[in-house]
Structure formats: C-alpha cells, structure tokens
Amino acid sequence: MLKKSQERILSTNSFECPQASSNLSIKDTQEFLYKTITTLKTNRMDYHICQSLYLYRIKFIMDKNKKKKNERKSTIFDSNYLCDENIEQIFTRILKLFEVDGQIIILSLFLLEKFIYKSRILLDENNYTKLIIVSLMETIKFFVDDSSIDAKLICSVLKIDKEMLVNMEYTFLNYINYKLNIDEEKFFLYKQKIMIIWVDYLKNKL
C-alpha cells in the first residue's frame, strides 16, 4: 500500500482535489449531488464522493472550532507541516501516500471524530495533518493490513522520529480505548448522516 517512491508526494505541488473544493461549478455540483444521492440509495462508496465528504466534514469541524480558540491547548499532534498550502492540497497528497479506498477514508473519519469527541482536542490548522495521518494509519492497520504501513516513510514525511510517531499512535488509541472495531449499524447511520449533510450543502450551492 505504501511505496518508497511515494516519499516525494508530500513535497510536490502536482496534486489537486477539485472535487473537494468549495469552488465547484454548477455542472460539477449537480454531478456530485447525483453521485451522492446514488451512493445513499445503493450504499456503494464512490471514492471521489468519500474524498470530498471527508474534506468537507474536516473543514466544517475546523470552522466550528475557530470560535473556541481560547480553549485550545497544545498537544503532541501540533505541527506546522505544509502550513503554507491549503487543506485540499495536503489532504489529496495524504491520500496519494496511503492509496486507500473510499470505505477506509470514511472509516478513518469515523474514528477521527470518535477521537475528537473523547479527547476534547480541537481540530484546527495546527494539528489536522498529523491527526488525519494517524487516524488513517490505525484504520489501515486494523481493517486492511498492519504490515502495509511503512513507519520509516511516514516519519520521513512528517519530519518526526519513530518515538514521536509511536507516542502519537498511543495517544490516539488510548483516547478511543483501543476500540477500533466499529458497529456496522452505527457506521451505516454515521455514513447516512454525513452524506445527508453533504447533499444539503451541494443543494445550497445550486
């Protein structure tokens, strides 16, 4: 799943995520609305819908947290990594690094929201990169293949040492009580909820 040749991914400007941008044309918005409604009806996880849905949800949470800046505390996940670029570019590169499918993207979002709720850590521009990467790592390890994670490569990408990565993983898992298994019914309801929010967002853009 992770290849050595992908180490350059997070240091290049060649990746974009137009479908996750807030500047969609009317035609693109209509197309995404149709795809999302189809996904809701069939429960088939379209990759680009999942990618855009994840990004919209992260940005929504971060926007809400702007009102709570005074409550913010420093954590192990804080970083200035790639802070000169927008979240769409960074998120797209992270996905290129891990090469996951749509189901894993939404599973990792579910676990990330669970972590945020349990830890009370405010997701913002200072910590979202590390939190997205760690939540994806733990999701892949549990649901796909533990051996597919190249810790050395991830440390290189994040410019941290192995001990820091282990500490981040421990912190993440500790707050969710190491409960990575997800109830199928709860996950289905979660997907339905965030997709309906996404449909409303797209409708309001038309």
φ/ψ of 113, rounded to 5, equals -65, -35
Cα angle for residues 133, 135, 174 (degrees, 5° grid):
125
pLDDT of residue 184 exceeding 50, the answer is yes
**Predicted TM-score of the model (pTM):** 0.80
**In the predicted structure, residue 146 carries a pLDDT above the cut 90:** no
Residue 86, phi-psi category: left (phi > 0), alpha (psi -120 to 50), beta (remainder):
beta
- What is residue 127's DSSP assignment? T
pLDDT above 90 (res 7): no
Residue 192, pLDDT above cutoff 70: yes
pLDDT at position 103, please? Answer: 87
CATH number for the domain whose boundaries are 25-205: 1.10.472.10
Region 169-175: mean pLDDT is 96
